[in-house]
Amino acid sequence: MHSSPLNSQNLVIVISGPSGGGKSTVAQVLCENDDTLRLSISATTRKARPDEIDGENYHFLTKFEFEENIKNNYFIEWAKYREHYYGTPKSEIDVSRKEGKDTVLEIDVNGALQIKKQHLTPANSILIFLIPSTYDILEKRLRGRNTESEDELKNRLEIAKTELQLIAQYDYCVVNPEDDVEQAVYQIRNIISAERLRINPEQTTTFLQNFGLPI
Ligand code: 5GP
């Protein structure tokens, strides 16, 4: 990667949007074969689904553990989604920074907006809203995963409607078509490439000094 001291370093790429929009698959495919990106592992108090592994999909915590972590300022953001807690440990960003990688967060809309409000120096955050082409596809995807009860599913669809109303607060919107994950991943890669070249105003002083120019 050829970047200058002027460019944004340590990006925090937030992939967010309604549950059932395909965020986890897109985030996984995006990070799979890219050693410049690191997918953050969130903590949650919800129960693991049969195919989920502790420490790989999530760090599964008890409510007590999670609340202790909130008190200890352990999370960069956290939110309650339905009756469970979800949060991003600050250490996830630190590890990426040490490895010289950008961090990808796959989180809900509440969490994304908390990230946006923070000043992550020297990191920079980008908010990407991932949406399915239609509401029907969202419902079909949620039903197809077969992991939720009918009540839970209806609740997730209701939450999706409120989440979609916050789309204007995001930087980018990417449509995740039903049968083409690669297309969404390709578009997100393009966003990341452009963002890596964005001028970071805080770096301009050093840059001008290095060129022997007055500041
Ligand atoms: P699920 O139960 O389907 O795994 O996740 C429910 C919602 O919580 C999804 O929208 C998912 O993106 C979101 N989520 C997962 N991890 C985090 C996190 O660390 N913080 C926040 N705010 N939301 C998260």
First to last CA, the chain: 28
CB-ligand 1 contact for 129 (6 Å cutoff): no
On average, the pLDDT of the chain sits at 91
- The answer on pLDDT for 169 being more than 90 is yes
Distance CA 127, CA 196 (A): 14
**126-159 pLDDT, tens digit each:** 999 999 989 899 999 888 888 888 998 999 999 9
Span from the CA of 43 to the centroid of ligand 1 (angstroms): 9
pTM for the full predicted model = 0.92
Look at ligand 1, atom 17, and give the residue with the nearest C-alpha. Answer: 107
Please, are residues 72 and 101 in contact by the beta-carbon 8 Å criterion?
no
Span from the CA of 106 to the centroid of ligand 1 (angstroms): 7
- The answer on pLDDT for 87 being more than 80 is yes
pLDDT score recorded for residue 172? 97
Q: What share of the chain is helix, strand, coil (3-state, %, to 5)?
A: 45, 25, 35
Rg (Cα) of the chain, in Å, rounded?
18
Average pLDDT over residues 1-17: 79
pLDDT score recorded for residue 1? 55
CB-ligand 1 contact for 85 (6 Å cutoff): no
Q: Which residue type occupies 55? A: G
- The answer on pLDDT for 74 being more than 90 is yes
pLDDT score recorded for residue 3? 64
Among 118, 116, 113, 95, which Cα is nearest to 37's?
95
pLDDT score recorded for residue 123? 60
CB atoms within 10 A of CB 115: 21
Widest distance between CA atoms in the chain: 66
173-177's contacts with Cβ under 8 Å and 24+ in sequence apart are 173/128, 173/129, 173/131, 174/128, 174/129, 174/130, 174/131, 175/131, 175/132, 175/133, 176/21, 176/22, 176/26, 176/130, 176/131, 176/132, 176/133, 177/133
CB-ligand 1 contact for 106 (6 Å cutoff): yes
CB-ligand 1 contact for 163 (6 Å cutoff): no
Atom of ligand 1 nearest to the CA of 114: 22
**170-205 pLDDT, tens digit each:** 999 999 988 789 999 999 999 999 999 988 877 788
